Amino acid sequence: MRTVLNILNFVLGGFFTTLGWLIATFFSIVLIFTLPLTRSCWEITKLSFLPFGNEAIHVDELYPEKSNALLAASGSLLNIVWLVLFGWWLCLSHIVAGIAQCITIIGIPVGITNFKIAAIALWPVGRRVVSVEMAQLARTENARRQYQKR
């Protein structure tokens, strides 16, 4: 089912949103000061290309032992730069694609997924794209750790 939905996404507008992410990735490489944004941009490019079966999860959920205040502050600063340069138009492209997909009955699940990616497009730094199963496992492990601390 994931394969069918990923193909449907690609045909109904996912090609254009993925192309937008590839263009943003290219510009984040070319503009030297945005080089730290390239990893996050590439991660969300993968999510835009294959949204079904994958999920964007924050690195603090994936690797809770590596989180610290300095990384969080620098990630927030990079997210602000991202929002100004790339985030707003990528978010807008996912919203437009989502609306166009939701107009067709068959495209509603794909459109809803584009709305979710639109929210991620505004603030992507610090997210990694992993399988849905890996994201669920990371969340379960974090919940177990939090429960054991109490």
pTM over 0.75: yes
Mean predicted lDDT score pLDDT of the chain: 88
Plot region of 126 (φ>0 → left; ψ -120 to 50 → alpha; else → beta) = left
Whether 145 has a pLDDT exceeding 70, the answer reads yes
pLDDT recorded at residue 92: 95
Other residues' Cβ atoms within 10 Å of the Cβ of residue 105: 6
Note the pLDDT tens digit of each residue in 63-118.
Answer: 777 776 766 777 888 889 889 988 899 999 999 999 999 998 898 999 999 999 99
% of the chain with per-residue pLDDT over 70: 96
The CA distance from 70 to 118, in Å, is: 27
